[in-house]
Chain A
Amino acid sequence: MLSDKAIKLLVIGESGVGKSSLIRRFVENKFDESHDVTIGMDFKSKVMNIDGVDYKLALWDTAGAERFRSLTPSFYRKALGAILVYDIKSRESLVKLESWFDELENYSDNPNIATIVVGNKIDEERVVSREEGLKFARKHRSLFLETSAKHDKFVADVFRDIVEKIVSSGNFEQFNNGDRIDVRTEDEEAAASSCRC
């Protein structure tokens, strides 16, 4: 049953870092510089096959604009993973991810939520070094990737990485079957596999 293998993912981060573009590239393989700004919430879905199993990804795109900030926590419910996006041209967008992590910590009902930090726009001149991004990801025991939605670089890997992480962690089973897992060992694993690419 397809619905049993549904995975809810959140895409969060500051306004204009390219959250919607990542999703658009991944789902529709399109890129449009002048795509409409997300208002409130957006939603897309895509089926992803991992090891012969189809998983239905529900991708929740959140608006980065301050005004909608109070809306997002409510959509954290039942999310299995979060993709935290920053813009490598803007250090501020990386720094602000800190508060997004806080929010996740506070509002997610899943203590083992999988996270990936994504530095987007590597097609442009960078301000934030890769090392800074890595350091940040390690601090939060998260996966890390740098991407370009415009040139379609590593976009699919972002989604594949996090879904594989969710599926392999047993967390997914736990959410679907109510089995128990040890939280601590999960975290260690996450730290160990914090970087890739």
Chain B
Amino acid sequence: MAEEIDDNGFYREDFSAESDWEVFNAQLGDLFQRWELSNENDWGDASFNVNNTKWQIDEEQLEVLGKPMTVKYYKALLEPGTCSKSANVTPQFHQDLMCVKSTLDQPTFLDEKANDVHYLARMYGLRRFVVMHPSQLQNHYLTNTSKFSFFLSSISVVAAEVCSAVPIFLHIHDPKWNFFLGIGMSSYMRTNFHSVALEQAPAEYLYLSGLVKMFKEKLPRNHDKPAVVSVRITYAMDTVKLRVPMYVPFGMTPVVDEERSVIEVSQFTALPHGYFPGSNTTMFATFTWPELMDNMFIDSPLQTQFIPSKAPCGKLYQTVHANSYLTACLKDYYNLITAKNTLESYVGRNFSGATTMAEEGNPLDQLGGKIGSHRPQTKQYADNTQQATSSGGQSKLPGPMKEYELNPMLYYLLPNIKPDLALFLYEMLSKDKIDPHRIKSAESDSLVYRLSCLLATVHAHFGGKSGFAQLYAAFTRELRQLWESCTPIPGVAPGLPDTRTCLLHQKLQMLNVCIEKRLQREKGIAAKTEGGMAMHTVELVTDDDDDDDDEDDDTNEEFYDLTEEDSDDPTEVAKPKEDNSKNPLKAEGRLRRFKNLKLIGSDEYLYVPVTQDLAPKTEDQLQDASDVMLKMGSDSEFITDLMCSTVVSDAEAFKAANPKAGFEDFIRWFSPNDWEEYWNEETQETGHKLSARMQAAGNTWQKVWEQAKPVPAARQKRLFDDTLEGYKILNYLESRNLGEIFGLTIVPLLHSSILKLKDIFANTQVLELFTETLDEILADLSRFSRDIELVEALPSPSSSEAPKINENKYTLQLPNPQPLLKKIEQLERDYYHYKCFECLPGVNGLPKAKLHSKFCEILKNNGHCNIVNAAEDHDGGVVEQVLQSLFIGDMREKLMSKDYVIRLGEGLVADESPKDVEAKDQQQPQAGFSNYLMPQFLRAIVTGEKLRLCGAFTENTTFLD
């Protein structure tokens, strides 16, 4: 109508006279075209389950009369359909209306599900529909009839125009009321969707007889066939509540031991447990009569045949509302992930108790000197423990926790600071225990675990971030104390930093390595001093080859540490030799003879020198080293220098131990494969020579050998400066911000939470129910832990203030832990659910295996299980019988609602014998307009005296009835 042909034959386009209605129609038509509402294919499988279908929702805003209108297209995502043949004959929504499964399967009482599945889908079983409503639904809902007809008329015009195969609805009145008007168009039929609600309905309409009567009156023309009725009766059962009081380690322990049956732990974990007081399981039972003829059953105000014991199908629905303190604690902790707050902002500067740089001079100057020349002032441990525990010795760290709260936690973490008060000692940790799931964390109940759990608990229950900061700061302060007193950190796996564990654990391992090295060194010094020797002289092994063999074991290890595999008896202190000054070419730093080999061209034995350990590295340091290599390229001198330091050190030690040795001897020990056998033609015997690569002029090894001076390892510059490394670690730990501490502790925390749950499940004999889930979560955690990346941190502005010992440049980048938290939460909820299930009368006495399989069914089915149907199939069906017996008595009190669905149309098979169906199928292709039974649908929901009706009545638009 906007296009007119003017006199000159041109098309003129003039929209100035368009009405609002037309403008809106045009927009709507446009939108529907885009959504391809006319498409009748690919609607998915014939039967779709409203319960567990995912929905795709397209949303668009249109403007009408100056107000925004929202149009939403709901589309169930289904597997490609298998029965497209019949879909061509009738619109899909007709089939949906006629389908018992899709209209009656979804219980209406599960309120929280309403968010997932649209009301319309539940009422009419529709898989696709469009809903239109004013955008600001809360305030501007449609209330007057003229508005309704404005939109409805435009819907019907546009739907017919675009040949929409999808019913279109208008949301009217208060959104809470769920009132919809709608139209579904097809070639010659029009289905009108309507809703009615009555607060107090006439009694006859609360029962099937009255409703059927009403239904028949509404039919557009006389149908001789009886209507098909589906009935579902819902009973609300008593809510099951299990009280599981809160337990908080180091804080709240429930006085009454009520929770015994639910939570029983066999191992102490510093994590809270218990469920919030409001936790419960609500239960509903539904009994269904899927398809009946309208005249087969009696249901009137006077008498009803719809009683549970006669129902062909029954289901028990359970909804759990359970929040656990453990999950709450983890979720709370998760909030720290982005926290940038520094420890200093909570506990003040210098909380660590470390002397400042200014006071001490630059510690870097003192470090890295020759072994033995620098001797850290070691306080006696006894003094130290006094200091640590007496409040006078150390200033109290500011924070919400009192000393009497904080101290037990510290003793829990580090039992050796107060051995007489320690309740929780560490078990011996093994070095090579590999976690079957390969989770990068640490051993269970090790220090890292305890710390992680305790930090989470403190964060949740002892004053949030400031409590968290207080505990962490106190912990690092104790670490520093242990370091200064040279006491190994307890609860850390022995050995070098293990990159299979989490970074925090590696750091602590490293700290222990440093402490051990220092201990050994100082022990050596102490022994030496006792022996009356001067400080820096190194003991010698005389060069007497005629000595007994055992003499060779007589080694001097004072100033070093042997490599792990070599140290047979590191505590052995060599006897001072008396004749050490006899030999002018004195050999120093021998470890043992090397396979009884003798030096080439000499009668002297070849001795393995005592060597320095290779520097152990933690993951971030490794990353640093490889980054440097990547950057510098492999041939750079820097790399060679870096790598050569060990060889230089070894060569020097070797020269010192074997003063008469040559390069060949060195290679024989250091790289035996380069000392090759060959057949000497001249002498007719096998000889040895250096390999080509070792003979090559100017190769690195030769150079190193030539430059090396005989210096025993003990007097060499330390390759691994344990003092510096130790301070680096302490500094690293102390300078983390809250978010970084979170990153360091999240994996052990989650790991121990899972182990704690496992413990609880095992103690209540339900472990097998959850084993699969637990394993799945552990596998997820394993991946999570290995996906943590070390990334180069941007220099933080605060770091420029004071020069710190080795600014750590890597920071942990975490994957999102939310999915894991969700799974743990669900697991805890399921556990509570199971416990409630067990509480049902009569259920507890049943065999566990049967109970478990029934519960598995509940879990699998999203919270519901059959209580009637299964009885015949299963052997005995004990559980079903018990559950059924819950509904034997008078159930009228618990009656919640009745759903009646009355319908008429194609595809209903209630009373047809298979023969009839066949006959009908054959007829169908020829079936003309008049033969098609148009779908008529009425759903009545009776809740007490309230009645809600949702109707969908189809009329023929060509031949009016």
Same assembly: yes
Instruction: List residues of chain A with CB under 8 Å of any chain B CB.
Output: 14-16, 33-37, 39-45, 58, 64-65, 67-68, 70-71, 73-77, 106-107, 109-111, 178, 180
Q: Quick check: A16 and B499 within 8 Å, CB to CB? A: no
Q: Quick check: A39 and B644 within 8 Å, CB to CB? A: yes
In-complex Cβ contact of A16 among B639, B650, B691, B699 (8 A): B691
User: Once bound together, how far apart are the Cα atoms of A100 and B116, in whole Å?
Assistant: 54
User: Once bound together, how far apart are the Cα atoms of A37 and B672, in whole Å?
Assistant: 12
Chain B residues near A14: list those with CB within 8 A: 673
User: Once bound together, how far apart are the Cα atoms of A44 and B701, in whole Å?
Assistant: 21
Smallest Cβ distance from B947 to chain A, in angstroms?
51
With A36-B693, A42-B634, A109-B440 given, can you name 15 additional A-B contacts, CB distance below 8 Å?
A: A14-B673, A15-B671, A15-B674, A16-B673, A34-B693, A36-B701, A37-B671, A37-B693, A70-B496, A74-B622, A75-B626, A77-B499, A107-B499, A109-B499, A178-B787
User: Once bound together, how far apart are the Cα atoms of A166 and B941, in whole Å?
Assistant: 60
Q: Quick check: A34 and B622 within 8 Å, CB to CB? A: no
B695 beta carbon closer than 8 Å to chain A? yes
Q: Quick check: A71 and B673 within 8 Å, CB to CB? A: no
Report the contact-size class of chain B (Cβ under 8 Å from the partner).
Answer: 35 or more
| 0 or 1 for each of B684-720: is its CB under 8 Å from A? (1 = yes) | 0000000111111001110000000000000000000
Secondary structure class of chain B's binding surface, majority of residues: helix
Given contacts A75-B626, A77-B619, A109-B440, contact A40 B499 (CB under 8 A): no
Q: Quick check: A44 and B643 within 8 Å, CB to CB? A: no
Smallest Cβ distance from A19 to chain B, in angstroms?
12
User: Once bound together, how far apart are the Cα atoms of A110 and B785, in whole Å?
Assistant: 12
In-complex Cβ contact of B650 among A67, A74, A77, A109 (8 A): A67
B23 beta carbon closer than 8 Å to chain A? no
Q: Nearest CB to that of A180 among chain B residues?
A: B783
10 closest residue pairs by CB, A with B: A34-B696, A40-B643, A16-B673, A39-B643, A33-B692, A15-B673, A34-B692, A34-B693, A43-B634, A43-B629
Most buried by B among A16, A37, A178, A180: A37
Q: Quick check: B646 and A109 within 8 Å, CB to CB? A: no
User: Once bound together, how far apart are the Cα atoms of A27 and B445, in whole Å?
Assistant: 48
Most buried by A among B611, B673, B696, B700: B673
Instruction: List residues of chain B with CB under 8 Å of any chain A CB.
Output: 432, 434, 438, 440, 496, 499-500, 563, 611, 614, 617, 619, 622-623, 626, 629-630, 634, 639-640, 642-644, 646-647, 650, 670-674, 691-696, 699-701, 783, 786-787, 815
User: Once bound together, how far apart are the Cα atoms of A16 and B693, in whole Å?
Assistant: 10
User: Once bound together, how far apart are the Cα atoms of A71 and B646, in whole Å?
Assistant: 11
Q: Nearest CB to that of B643 among chain A residues?
A: A40
Q: Quick check: A39 and B700 within 8 Å, CB to CB? A: yes
Can you list 15 A-B pairs with a CB-CB distance of less than 8 A? A34-B692, A34-B693, A34-B699, A37-B671, A37-B693, A39-B640, A39-B643, A39-B644, A65-B671, A74-B499, A74-B617, A74-B622, A75-B626, A106-B432, A109-B438
User: Once bound together, how far apart are the Cα atoms of A60 and B813, in whole Å?
Assistant: 24
Q: Quick check: B815 and A41 within 8 Å, CB to CB? A: no
Chain A residues near B647: list those with CB within 8 A: 39
Smallest Cβ distance from B744 to chain A, in angstroms?
18
Q: Count the A-B residue pairs with Cβ separation under 8 angstroms: how many? A: 91
Chain B residues near A107: list those with CB within 8 A: 499-500
User: Once bound together, how far apart are the Cα atoms of A174 and B354, in whole Å?
Assistant: 45
Most buried by A among B619, B626, B644, B650: B626
Q: Quick check: B786 and A109 within 8 Å, CB to CB? A: yes
Q: Quick check: B563 and A41 within 8 Å, CB to CB? A: no
User: Once bound together, how far apart are the Cα atoms of A18 and B879, in whole Å?
Assistant: 69
Chain B residues near A74: list those with CB within 8 A: 499, 617, 622
Q: Nearest CB to that of B815 among chain A residues?
A: A178
Q: Quick check: B500 and A75 within 8 Å, CB to CB? A: no
Chain B residues near A37: list those with CB within 8 A: 671, 674, 693-694, 699-701
Q: Quick check: A71 and B614 within 8 Å, CB to CB? A: yes
Q: Nearest CB to that of B496 among chain A residues?
A: A70
Q: Quick check: A36 and B692 within 8 Å, CB to CB? A: no
Q: Nearest CB to that of B779 among chain A residues?
A: A180
In-complex Cβ contact of B674 among A16, A109, A111 (8 A): A16
In-complex Cβ contact of B673 among A34, A42, A64 (8 A): A64
Q: Quick check: A33 and B693 within 8 Å, CB to CB? A: yes
Q: Quick check: A36 and B499 within 8 Å, CB to CB? A: no
User: Once bound together, how far apart are the Cα atoms of A111 and B499, in whole Å?
Assistant: 14
Chain B residues near A71: list those with CB within 8 A: 614
User: Once bound together, how far apart are the Cα atoms of A129 and B797, in whole Å?
Assistant: 63
User: Once bound together, how far apart are the Cα atoms of A110 and B630, in whole Å?
Assistant: 21
User: Once bound together, how far apart are the Cα atoms of A127 and B644, in whole Å?
Assistant: 34
User: Once bound together, how far apart are the Cα atoms of A33 and B695, in whole Å?
Assistant: 10
Q: Quick check: B670 and A44 within 8 Å, CB to CB? A: no
User: Once bound together, how far apart are the Cα atoms of A39 and B629, in whole Å?
Assistant: 13
Chain B residues near A67: list those with CB within 8 A: 611, 646, 650, 670
Q: Quick check: A106 and B434 within 8 Å, CB to CB? A: yes
Smallest Cβ distance from A22 to chain B, in angstroms?
15
In-complex Cβ contact of A44 among B434, B626, B634 (8 A): B634
Chain A residues near B671: list those with CB within 8 A: 15-16, 37, 65
Smallest Cβ distance from B328 to chain A, in angstroms?
27
Q: Quick check: A75 and B622 within 8 Å, CB to CB? A: yes
Q: Quick check: B500 and A43 within 8 Å, CB to CB? A: no
User: Once bound together, how far apart are the Cα atoms of A178 and B432, in whole Å?
Assistant: 27
Q: Quick check: A36 and B700 within 8 Å, CB to CB? A: yes
Chain A residues near B432: list those with CB within 8 A: 106
User: Once bound together, how far apart are the Cα atoms of A111 and B783, in whole Å?
Assistant: 11
Chain B residues near A77: list those with CB within 8 A: 499, 619, 622-623
Q: Nearest CB to that of B629 among chain A residues?
A: A43
Smallest Cβ distance from A142 to chain B, in angstroms?
20
Q: Nearest CB to that of A70 among chain B residues?
A: B614
Smallest Cβ distance from B720 to chain A, in angstroms?
12
Q: Quick check: B614 and A178 within 8 Å, CB to CB? A: no
Smallest Cβ distance from A184 to chain B, in angstroms?
13
Q: Nearest CB to that of B630 among chain A residues?
A: A43
Q: Nearest CB to that of A21 among chain B residues?
A: B693
Chain A residues near B699: list those with CB within 8 A: 34, 36-37
Chain B residues near A106: list those with CB within 8 A: 432, 434, 500
Chain A residues near B787: list those with CB within 8 A: 178
User: Once bound together, how far apart are the Cα atoms of A45 and B631, in whole Å?
Assistant: 11
User: Once bound together, how far apart are the Cα atoms of A41 and B671, in whole Å?
Assistant: 15
User: Once bound together, how far apart are the Cα atoms of A43 and B642, in whole Å?
Assistant: 13
User: Once bound together, how far apart are the Cα atoms of A180 and B780, in whole Å?
Assistant: 9
Smallest Cβ distance from B452 to chain A, in angstroms?
20
